Amino acid sequence: MGTATLQEILNQTRSWESVLNRTQYIQGFVQSHENVCHAEDFFFLGCGTSYYLALSAASLFQRIAQRRARALTASDVFLFPDSVFRLNRETGVNVIISRSGSTTEAVWAAKKINTFPQFTTCAVSCRPESTLVKECHLSLTTPEADEKSVVMTQSFTSMLLLLQLIASHLSKDTAFEKELTKISEIGETVIKRYHNQIKDLAQNTGVTKFTFLGQGPFYGLACESMLKMKEMSLSVSDAYHSMEFRHGPMSMADEQMFITFLLSNQGRDAEVAVLKDMKNLGAKTLVICDSADEEITKLSDHVIELQSGLSDHARLVLYMPLMQLFGYYKATQKGLDPDNPKNLTQVVEIT
């Protein structure tokens, strides 16, 4: 049960390594497309998991590539184009993210954007022969990250890593690119070190509500962690910006809630203050951080230290295998099959 999904989660660092080895492909892409090189505005689009990837990609493009970057749902682009673009003034690159390249809203968004001559469309997909790739002006593909599972796991992290590499080439930030070279090796260590702890947490945490919190580029990861828990284990699961949690949603915090903090370095103090408040409300807490200090250890029921030594924007993918495993093992503990999640198909195609 769930073997395809589990294997793809556990082996995803192989796909990361393959993406990292495609530097020439990435360099070639950036150098041969002036419109990408000099664009000031980037719009990242997607649906479901791919929209949450877009959220993190926009944050990292703003920080690393120093371009104006926004995340949009593909559906808003074709339903409300004049609300998401300043059509008579805006130009830019629309990066449409889709593992399958067949999701209807992603294809419809590409078609709509292509009616505006001032925009460039670029598909990011795991399927080079897909409709979306054919529809867009440009494409970046990671076929090595394609997967059998319905839910997205290695495809999410591999496409995010690809976009991190693109951002580093646009910024010529060699220090950031250097950080990324270590990511698959560190990821392998993280999975090996914490696989059993996450499995044990999922199987022995008798709670009924899950909340995932993150700021900046970690908010997209918190949303994706929420979706993994929801899609696979059919649990009540929410995601918020960490500091947003106090503004209402914390009314639900109690002994029945398990809150996972995807901790950043940049926002650490403010995020730990939220952790302290939630602890006082009786919620069970897991903190995933790069390195914990005494305060974090004292306030957390469970701590996972990635110990990567990487910057916030460089270590994003390292959080995800553990969050994917969290949802996976919660599902199997409930007797569900993660390979066949309820009501879901691998691609949403609207006729």
Window 222-251: contact mask with ligand F1P (x via CB under 6 A): ---------x--------------------
Q: Select the residue interacting with ligand F1P from 15, 50, 62, 157 (CB under 6 A).
A: 50
**Which residue type sits at 53?**
L
Give the CB-nearest residue to ligand F1P.
48
The C-alpha atoms of residue 219 and residue 188 are separated, in whole angstroms, by 23
| Ramachandran class of 198: left when φ > 0, alpha when ψ lies in -120 to 50, beta otherwise | alpha
Choose the binding region for ligand F1P from 58-66, 94-102, 206-214, 269-277 (rule: CB under 6 A): 94-102
The three-state DSSP-derived secondary structure of 335-346 is: CCCCCCCCCCCC
How many chain residues interact with ligand F1P (CB under 6 A)? 17
Which residue lies nearer to ligand F1P by CB, 231 or 312? 231
Which residue lies nearer to ligand F1P by CB, 234 or 347? 347
Least distance in angstroms from the C-beta of 302 to ligand F1P: 26
4 binds ligand F1P (CB under 6 A): no
344 binds ligand F1P (CB under 6 A): yes
157: number of CA atoms within 13 Å, CB side?
31
130 binds ligand F1P (CB under 6 A): no
H or E segment and range at residue 260: strand 257-262
Q: Select the residue interacting with ligand F1P from 140, 151, 239, 292 (CB under 6 A).
A: 151
Q: Select the residue interacting with ligand F1P from 150, 207, 236, 243 (CB under 6 A).
A: 150
Query: Is 73 strand, coil or helix?
Result: strand
Helix ranges restricted to H, the chain? 3-10, 12-20, 23-32, 34-37, 49-60, 74-79, 81-84, 104-113, 131-135, 154-171, 174-180, 183-204, 217-233, 268-280, 294-299, 320-333
Q: Select the residue interacting with ligand F1P from 5, 15, 98, 164 (CB under 6 A).
A: 98
15 binds ligand F1P (CB under 6 A): no
48 binds ligand F1P (CB under 6 A): yes
**Which residue type sits at 143?**
P
347 binds ligand F1P (CB under 6 A): yes
The C-alpha atoms of residue 49 and residue 325 are separated, in whole angstroms, by 16
The C-alpha atoms of residue 41 and residue 246 are separated, in whole angstroms, by 33
The C-alpha atoms of residue 20 and residue 142 are separated, in whole angstroms, by 11
Window 175-214: contact mask with ligand F1P (x via CB under 6 A): ----------------------------------------
Contact residues toward ligand F1P (CB under 6 A) are: 47-50, 98-100, 103, 106, 150-152, 231, 344, 346-348
